[in-house]
Structure 1
Amino acid sequence: MPKDRSKDKPPVDPRRRLRRRILWSAGAVLLIALAVFVFRPFWRLSSQFDDLTFRQPSRLYGLTPTLVQGKPFARERLIEDLNNEGYRAEPGAAALPPGRYREGQDSITIQLRNFPLPDGGTGNGLVEASWNGSRIATLRLSGREAETVSLEPPLLASYYGEDHQERRPVDLDKVSPDLVKAVIAAEDDTFFQHNGVSVSGVLRALWVNLRGGGIRQGGSTLTQQLVKNLYLSHERTVGRKAQELVLALLLEARYGKEQILEAYLNEIYLGGSNGVSLMGMGAASRAYFGKDPAQLDLAEAATLAGMIRAPAAYSPTNHPAKSKERRDWVLERMRKLELVPGARIDQALARPVSTAPEPVVRRRAPYFADAMAVEAQKRFGIEVLADTGHALFSTLDWRSQQAAVEAVAFGLDAAEKGYQKGHEGAGPLQAALVSVDPQTGGILAYVGGRDYSQSQFDRAGQALRQPGSAFKPVVYAAAFETGRVTPATMLEDTPLTITKAGLVWSPKNDDGSFHGLVTVRRAIEHSYNPATARLGQQVGMEKVVALAHKMGISAKIDPFPSVALGAFETTPVELAGVYGTLAAQGVRAPVHGLTAVLDRYRKPVQGVALPAPEPVLSPQTAYIVTSLLQGVLRNGTAAGGAGGIQGDVAGKTGTTNKRRDSWFGGFSRERATVVWVGYDDNSTTRLSGARAALPIWNRFMSKAALRGGFSYFRQPSGLTTVPIDRETGKIATEYCPSVVHEVFRAGTAPSQVCDQHQSYWDLQIAEALEARDGEEVEAGAAESVDRARRERHPFKSWLRRVFGDEDQEKGAKEGKGGVVVLPEEGTDVKPPHRPR
């Protein structure tokens, strides 16, 4: 039988077993503690470290100003543009640093900053331009003659993350060596010798803290500062400091000194501007000096390095005296460490603190920035712009945008003070303005509301409102396209009732009156509703709706009769496209804001190409409608609305039922602009388009026009101009009291001469003929009547007496046989009132 060996084992000491369990438990706790306290934070720290070079806001740029040799460009405008973008004038003859310009008698020299180009390149260089009058005579870029030079585009918006941090990451080899040396001297002169922790620094900080009775100094190396900025909080506790030391050692074990230094220079906090934190030397050097880090001189480098300890206290813009004191300390520190020759130190010490701040832009055009984020998603597939480093290039003209914002603010204040009596519970009166380039469809100005800080809802691109009479030009364009309607066609402006699908509709004019037979011109100039509704029925509402879609309206529209008066919903952006089509002589260019997008590596992002501009309306029809809309501004509902605007403009008012919406859409050859005014809750404003929207449109267009004003509308071939009586629509005579030179397609002009308006002499003859009670007129009387007609003008009669006329001696004075006895020359005869 086998021997039981279990009886040979010595008994286990319970205390030993307990100690073993305690050690195992302590080890497990230690491992967990290390995982929580060190390894997990280090893993997260490493992830953040690897992403540092890619994190920066996306930026939206406006239309690039371009100088062209031989073309006009006002020097005053160029200087204003440069000042707006943070460039500063610098007198003297020394070389210009980036972000500066110098004026000559008829010249300007500009040292451009580095800026991105839509093709992924970088713009920069020295621009030299001279003027001959208002035109650019010579143009040079970096010493070479150039036909065109692109200047820095205006920065319209930066798409920040929730932390609102401005970042411009830069590689270490693109940082000024002086800046690297200044940071080392100011913050960690043993950086290249230690392994993440400076023992002497820790001992020095420990001694200071013991003497002060608390944690007053950290003795942190650059690596420790980086760890703290990336991952740890800024609280001063022993536990946080221990964690900082361990993570710094691990970071140096994994990454090289150059990588750590580059990350530090891109992550350090250096103050704020416009509510945005400046993170890293790239952002700070642009914000304070308008330069990239590679372009900083020694004094500027020392200034930024000196700010690290206390960015707010040592800000060169807010506290230049303290900033200079701190800068000089850094320079002397660099002298002591022999990092820079003494002669250069002395030169830097002699310089005053001088800044050329480049504006840090959050949202200069906030509604447009939001709209472009939507367009970037739709056309380029970019879901997120915050901190993704994209560069978006747009069509927005910054000068036009400034004019639009000012016009909206001024117009709304005037409307509320002058006409609008206030409205309880509706919020402030709102407005939207969209201006586009008719040839390209590019958005030139975009205002989506009164105040973005109060309401971010975009009324220009998102608010669906009824256009009212602002849609009528489409109805008339559809009518002209049929070839059966002309500006002289007579329309009935009389009571009308239309029944369709069981619905009864009876359009009326704004004042409740009717005007009988009117010409097409008068109907649109004065915005007569029944006349326009009848025209829509005559043309066919299906054709009107089809044309509206071709001209840029995307909404589904049921062809109800009321659509002729704008009883459907659209946006100001789409309506601007409609008016842009008229301005481009019937060619529709899709409305858009983006021209190019670059990714964070400055590679072009391929997006959905815009449709090419296409003709949707004959140029003849577009010109005829344009002629009618010019009349709206001269004689119609917007009479006087073009005051102060040089050149040709045309437009149409729009007011919806109960005056909920006020519109004005108008255009020149260079731009089409639509303005909407109303309340967000769709309540009545008691304002017409002429009183609310037109003043805003006028103020904007008068400021947006280039020097010399807008160009004249060009009449296409295939049209003829005929003088037409405004009342009858017939060919005018010299006695018609109101004549318009109307435009017709060849072969469509009226052939009848106006018989409603006659001279006094014609009226006398007509009365004499009527007095015959139908008796036959003798041959001699007929001849006398004919002579009377020929002699009805006193000036012509005088000419005949002077130069002779075989019938003059006989005259028409016999007074027999029904012949009218005409008064003697010079007799004071008062003609009767001319019928109108």
Structure 2
Amino acid sequence: MAKRRRTVGTGTSTRRRRRRRDFRVLRWLLLLVVLVVGAGVWFVWPYWRLAGSLATETETLPSRLYARALRLEAGMQIDPDALVRRLEGCGYRPAPRDGLLPGTYRALPRQVAISQRRFPSPRGWTGGGLLVIDLAGDRIERLHDGTETLRTALLEPYLLASWYGPELRDRVPVPLDEIPRDLVQAVLAAEDDGFFEHPGLSLSGIARALWTNLRGGTVRQGGSTLTQQLVKNRFLSAERTLERKLREALLALFVELRYEKREILRIYLDSIFWGKPGPVNLMGVGAAARAYFDKPAAELDLAEAALLAGIIRAPAELSPYRRPEAALARRNQILDRLVALRWVASERAEAAKAAPLGVRATGYGQNRAPFFAAAVAAEARRRYGIESLADAGLILLSTLDEVEQAAAAAAVETGVADLAGRVGERGAPLQAALVALDPLTGGARAWVGGRDFRASQFDRVSQMRRQAGSTFKPVVYAAAFAGEVATPATLIADEPLLLELAGRQWSPKNDDGEFLGWISARTAVERSRNLPTVRLALEVGLPPIVDLARRLGVASPLSPVPALALGAFELSPLELATVYSVFASGGVRPPVHTLDGVLDGRGQPLAGTALPPPERVLSPEAAYLVTSLLEGVVAHGTGQRARQLGLTDPVAGKTGTTNQKRDAWFAGFAPGKVALAWVGYDDNRPTPFSGAAGALPVWTGFMLRTRPPGGYGQIAPPAGVVRRTIDPASGGLALPLCPQVIDEFFLASRAPTLGCPLHGGPRWAGDRLGAPPPEAEEGQGEPESGRFRRWLRRLFGGAAAPPQG
């Protein structure tokens, strides 16, 4: 019995020891499992979380600057050919025979039909749908959408510039449902035809790539799926190591677990690198379609889709610009692959193979108006508080007209090249500036701040200050007319003048060193005479002239000294253009600006500082009298070379030349347009050009290039201005014996009522500033040299050479 009890006790003890041992083993196994699982989670979790950030990671977008959208309305003049060029400049194409597709147009002799895309405007995104323009010659007869008549319509604006971050990445987001099926299939055929079947890794693809590389003896093909490419580009480096491939595979599996296939495809197409055909890197199909074909991705055809799909593998080696033959061969290879996969009919593929590459001219991403873009950035900072536009994703709607901007750039390039060719380029190059404004709104329509922005970013339109010369003289005459001190017929002495100024003598001279005696205010302006202008300024008073200049838009320092009348103070071209916009608008100063609005990334308008309303600073009558004088400058004064260059319309303008011809100016206008040109050297060296010889041809070139189909109209006089026929030698009403008569404009309150005292009228002083009554003999009081020249002209019937100013 005792022996049996020992046996039982021993067995129980053994079982207990075994249970304790098993429990310890189990505990260690559980601990090991926990450690393994924890280590796995610790290792895998960052990848899982990183994969989840794929869709939430924000891609930066550049800020984009657009030209103004052209507003159309019934009755307005329009050149049908220019309209088509404008559409094609925005990437619109002739419509196929089977109908109008978005981004296409059909031009008929009396009609242009456009299938518009959506585009940004100051109030948000607009456009889309059909726009039909019925034409009657060079005028719009009717606007409609195929059924209903439209009062106005907008045309899509040009993209002028973009502000990129340091990586110079351009991206245009495109929803997947707007990407053509042909492009999706072409990309899958080129990169991953089993995309919708595999879980993120393709064993068959890896095996196929391995076999290809073994046969070639080098790494010629990768086995990466589209998902692997995506995670590599978004999260990993480009190094070729086993560790990187393992991380890539793990991330690809997690991405496939966390996202639907369509979402992965969308992110891929929206972010993959598509080459660098210009100054920027193309990220995504939206930017690629714009860069290579100048169209949205939604409008790509099969041949274009295959070309883009083929580029992905090696954007540099397969660039259609650098290696068009290789790009063409790769495109056709993709088309064959589409046929082999039975995704595209062979007939369509063969037709696509016959198409040319069709890529646009290089230059995508380049700034079309760099000086203007810099001015826009400054205004955005001032009015909207935007410190940096780089990768800010903003849309800036500007006032610039792309047609006028191109005309301004061409006028500066050709005009200054011709001038520089005459003098030779020694040292710093001859420079120029041209700015055009809408005198009613103050919007800048063209802005060229120099010959080459890459060589010099100094903006001569807004940053430069130079003496204005004779282009300032109209301010003196405007002050005289506003104060009723003079009329266009007032006679002023063109005779020597000696002034005592702060103990020093100042004796202004005319450009030709001669004196014409008594001449009218009109003649003084048309022939740019200095002495009559100084005399008139002294009669008006210098402080009122300074005050008027301020109200006209001059912010630069001015002093009430006699030299002010001759433009001795420095102004910017933009200030001077603002002054002339007041004359062109009938006395109203518009708020000069470059921005009409800014949209945020969602297309919503941003709130900013509103522009001040237009302000009346000069009476319409005084503004018109100045305009009339300036029309005479171009018709038969210092600006008559514009006529010789082909501009025969009744435009108005004024030349300006500073001492030693350091600055050549011309400022002028027509209804709805003010433009100013300057030519000179940055270092203030003398030039051989007067305003008429240097700046006027540049200005005329711009005005001719932007001339409307029916020509420039004439500004009509306001109700308070009357026309009278007078003898210019006296300013009195013309009589039968007067040898020369002209029609002249007057304020109704200052119109002459007496006949010419030189040819039978009553003896009166005439309209002269501080002069004794004239004698009956014509030319009395005129210097001997002036009377001799007049006698020679009458004797030989010749005309005096046009004066320079």
TM-score, normalised on structure 2? 0.81
Per the alignment, residue 166 of structure 1 pairs with 170
Q: Would you say the 8 A contact 2:462–2:573 is kept in 1?
A: yes
Per the alignment, residue 820 of structure 1 pairs with none
Per the alignment, residue 88 of structure 1 pairs with 93
Aligned: 1:77 with 2:79: no
Alpha-carbon shift at residue 50 of structure 1 (Å): 4.0
Q: Secondary structure at the match of 2:114?
A: strand
**1: CA distance, partners of 2:305 / 2:115:** 20
Q: Deviations over 1:380-423 (max 9, x none)?
A: 222222222222222222222222222212221232334xx346
**1: CA distance, partners of 2:64 / 2:310:** 29
Per the alignment, residue 150 of structure 1 pairs with 154
Q: Would you say the 8 A contact 1:58–1:160 is kept in 2?
A: yes
Per the alignment, residue 676 of structure 2 pairs with 674
2:658 to 647, 656, 659: 656
Per the alignment, residue 620 of structure 2 pairs with 619
Q: Would you say the 8 A contact 1:431–1:675 is kept in 2?
A: yes
Q: Would you say the 8 A contact 1:632–1:652 is kept in 2?
A: yes
1:743 to 726, 734, 745: 745
Equivalent residues in 2 for 1:368-383 (5 A)?
368-383=372-387
Alpha-carbon shift at residue 692 of structure 1 (Å): 0.3
**1: CA distance, partners of 2:209 / 2:380:** 52
| Structure 1 stretch displaced more, 517-526 or 132-141 | 132-141
Change beyond 3 A, Cα 1:287–1:355: farther
Q: Would you say the 8 A contact 1:434–1:460 is kept in 2?
A: yes
Q: Would you say the 8 A contact 1:114–1:123 is kept in 2?
A: yes
Equivalent residues in 2 for 1:661-810 (5 A)?
661-751=663-753, 753-756=755-758
Alpha-carbon shift at residue 88 of structure 1 (Å): 2.7
Change beyond 3 A, Cα 1:240–1:119: same
Q: Would you say the 8 A contact 1:430–1:678 is kept in 2?
A: yes
Q: Would you say the 8 A contact 1:306–1:330 is kept in 2?
A: no
- Please tell me the residue identity of whatever aligns with 2:61: Q
Q: Secondary structure at the match of 1:708?
A: coil
Q: Deviations over 1:450-469 (max 9, x none)?
A: 12232222111211111111
2:111 to 101, 107, 110: 107
2:265 to 261, 264, 270: 261
Alpha-carbon shift at residue 334 of structure 1 (Å): 3.9
Change beyond 3 A, Cα 1:138–1:623: closer
- Please tell me the residue identity of whatever aligns with 2:65: L
Alpha-carbon shift at residue 204 of structure 1 (Å): 4.7
Q: Secondary structure at the match of 2:224?
A: coil
Q: Secondary structure at the match of 2:288?
A: helix
**2: CA distance, partners of 1:316 / 1:210:** 30
**2: CA distance, partners of 1:683 / 1:466:** 13
Change beyond 3 A, Cα 1:745–1:295: closer
Q: Would you say the 8 A contact 1:303–1:326 is kept in 2?
A: no
Q: Would you say the 8 A contact 2:186–2:335 is kept in 1?
A: no
Equivalent residues in 2 for 1:476-491 (5 A)?
476-491=477-492
2:62 to 57, 65, 76: 57
Q: Which runs of 5+ in 2 are unaligned?
A: 1-34, 762-793, 801-805
- Please tell me the residue identity of whatever aligns with 2:64: R
Q: Percent identity?
A: 48
Equivalent residues in 2 for 1:247-326 (5 A)?
248=252, 257-296=261-300, 300-311=304-315, 318-319=324-325, 321-326=328-333
Change beyond 3 A, Cα 1:142–1:365: farther
Q: Would you say the 8 A contact 1:675–1:696 is kept in 2?
A: yes
Q: Deviations over 1:238-276 (max 9, x none)?
A: 455455445545656766655443322112122344444
Q: Deviations over 1:594-630 (max 9, x none)?
A: 2122112111112211111111000110111111112
**1: CA distance, partners of 2:557 / 2:48:** 57
Aligned: 1:118 with 2:125: no
- Please tell me the residue identity of whatever aligns with 1:477: A
Alpha-carbon shift at residue 508 of structure 1 (Å): 1.9
- Please tell me the residue identity of whatever aligns with 2:519: V
Alpha-carbon shift at residue 175 of structure 1 (Å): 3.1
Aligned alpha-carbon RMSD (Å): 3.4
Per the alignment, residue 610 of structure 1 pairs with 611
- Please tell me the residue identity of whatever aligns with 1:668: A
Change beyond 3 A, Cα 1:326–1:724: same
Change beyond 3 A, Cα 1:314–1:123: farther
Alpha-carbon shift at residue 212 of structure 1 (Å): 5.2
**2: CA distance, partners of 1:554 / 1:377:** 20
Per the alignment, residue 17 of structure 2 pairs with none
Change beyond 3 A, Cα 1:566–1:832: closer
Change beyond 3 A, Cα 1:309–1:422: closer
Change beyond 3 A, Cα 1:450–1:300: closer
**2: CA distance, partners of 1:833 / 1:735:** 22
Q: Deviations over 1:816-836 (max 9, x none)?
A: xxxxxxxxxxxxxxx9999x9
Matched residue count: 720
2:389 to 385, 403, 409: 385
Change beyond 3 A, Cα 1:641–1:297: closer
**1: CA distance, partners of 2:382 / 2:185:** 47
Change beyond 3 A, Cα 1:756–1:467: same
Q: Secondary structure at the match of 2:466?
A: coil
Alpha-carbon shift at residue 105 of structure 1 (Å): 4.5
Change beyond 3 A, Cα 1:586–1:356: farther
Alpha-carbon shift at residue 158 of structure 1 (Å): 2.4
Q: Would you say the 8 A contact 1:645–1:709 is kept in 2?
A: no
Alpha-carbon shift at residue 505 of structure 1 (Å): 3.3
Per the alignment, residue 511 of structure 1 pairs with 512
Change beyond 3 A, Cα 1:97–1:322: farther
Q: Secondary structure at the match of 2:135?
A: strand
Aligned: 1:68 with 2:70: no
- Please tell me the residue identity of whatever aligns with 1:97: L
**2: CA distance, partners of 1:62 / 1:189:** 42
Q: Deviations over 1:352-403 (max 9, x none)?
A: 4467656735212222222222222222222222222222222222222222
Per the alignment, residue 15 of structure 2 pairs with none
Q: Secondary structure at the match of 1:375?
A: helix
Q: Would you say the 8 A contact 1:181–1:334 is kept in 2?
A: no
Change beyond 3 A, Cα 1:266–1:708: same
Aligned: 1:436 with 2:423: no
Q: Secondary structure at the match of 1:641?
A: helix
Q: Would you say the 8 A contact 2:336–2:349 is kept in 1?
A: no
**1: CA distance, partners of 2:653 / 2:141:** 38
Per the alignment, residue 222 of structure 1 pairs with 226
| Structure 1 stretch displaced more, 585-594 or 244-253 | 244-253
Aligned: 1:583 with 2:587: no
Alpha-carbon shift at residue 557 of structure 1 (Å): 2.0
- Please tell me the residue identity of whatever aligns with 2:91: G
Q: Deviations over 1:642-679 (max 9, x none)?
A: 44224321111111122111101111122111111100
Q: Deviations over 1:414-473 (max 9, x none)?
A: 32334xx34642x11111111111111111221111122322221112111111110110
Per the alignment, residue 565 of structure 1 pairs with 566
Q: Would you say the 8 A contact 1:61–1:157 is kept in 2?
A: yes
- Please tell me the residue identity of whatever aligns with 1:667: F
Larger Rg: 1
Per the alignment, residue 535 of structure 1 pairs with 536
Per the alignment, residue 778 of structure 1 pairs with none
- Please tell me the residue identity of whatever aligns with 1:687: F
**1: CA distance, partners of 2:259 / 2:711:** 62
Equivalent residues in 2 for 1:466-505 (5 A)?
466-501=467-502, 504-505=505-506
Q: Secondary structure at the match of 2:447?
A: strand
**1: CA distance, partners of 2:291 / 2:548:** 51
**1: CA distance, partners of 2:119 / 2:148:** 20
Change beyond 3 A, Cα 1:45–1:496: farther
Change beyond 3 A, Cα 1:640–1:321: closer
- Please tell me the residue identity of whatever aligns with 1:84: G
**2: CA distance, partners of 1:211 / 1:263:** 34
